[in-house]
Chains A and B, each alone.
Chain A
Amino acid sequence: LAKTTQPISMDSYEGQEVNITCSHNNIATNDYITWYQQFPSQGPRFIIQGYKTKVTNEVASLFIPADRKSSTLSLPRVSLSDTAVYYCLVTGGSYIPTFGRGTSLIVHP
């Protein structure tokens, strides 16, 4: 079971780029990296998923180095509405993805 480690909290300001790094040292060959976003009193929402190198969608970018032992979620030009908890998960294999405590991002005006 691949365990993930990410910062408990981060602060940023509107308009800045935010990078949240996640460590997953024992990621397996068949595993993917998936990020979710959760607002208070709501269910988590899928943001992005990747296997290696870089993935970009309309919401975020995901950077994964060659050794895949870490990944970085990049949120360009954050706004107040990006204040949420962000979860990094390793998904794949025969186990259920496990949500950790995530990173609580607070965006200030």
Chain B
Amino acid sequence: ETGVTQTPRHLVMGMTNKKSLKCEQHLGHNAMYWYKQSAKKPLELMFVYNFKEQTENNSVPSRFSPECPNSSHLFLHLHTLQPEDSALYLCASSQGVSVGQLQETQYFGPGTRLLVL
């Protein structure tokens, strides 16, 4: 148990559906991240929030929409996804003094396994 929870753990959706992924951290951190991990590929950073402000958007398509209402919660809203968006979506948090700052260890949640049909 890393102190970062994600729901749902598994999700199957059609290309016309709208769904949301939720992440919650109980570590008192100020930075939160969304990553995408496709089969046999490295983790791809999608979004970074530091003190509730989005600091990174790694050229992610607009069909993915993040939301960070407070430092403990992070959402990823999904709409009109494509089959190639099927992947493991991982949320992480870190202390957040400054993104990428010294000793900025990340704590990951268990991920949401998404399948787009």
B2 to chain A, nearest CB (A): 7
Which chain B residues in 1-16 approach chain A with CB under 8 Å?
Answer: 2, 4
User: Which residues of the other chain, A, contact B107 by a CB distance below 8 angstroms?
Assistant: 46
User: Which residues of the other chain, B, contact A99 by a CB distance below 8 angstroms?
Assistant: 35, 42-43
Which chain B residues in 39-71 approach chain A with CB under 8 Å?
Answer: 41-43, 45, 48, 56
Contact pattern, B 75-109, Cβ under 8 Å of A = 1, otherwise 0: 00000000000001011100000111111111111
Contact B42 A102 (CB under 8 A): yes
Among A17-25, A61-69, A71-79, A87-95, the stretch in contact with B: A87-95
Selected from A32, A46, A94, A102, the residue in CB contact (under 8 A) with B98 is A94
Selected from A46, A94, A100, A101, the residue in CB contact (under 8 A) with B106 is A46
Q: Is the interface of B mostly helix, strand, loop or mixed?
A: loop
Contact B111 A95 (CB under 8 A): no
Contact A43 B110 (CB under 8 A): yes
Given contacts A30-B102, A94-B98, A95-B100, contact A44 B113 (CB under 8 A): no
Contact B102 A43 (CB under 8 A): no
Given contacts A96-B48, A99-B43, A102-B42, contact A41 B102 (CB under 8 A): no
Selected from B42, B103, B109, the residue in CB contact (under 8 A) with A43 is B109
Q: Name B residues whose Cβ lies closer than 8 Å to a Cβ of A.
A: 2, 4, 35, 41-43, 45, 48, 56, 88, 90-92, 98-111, 113
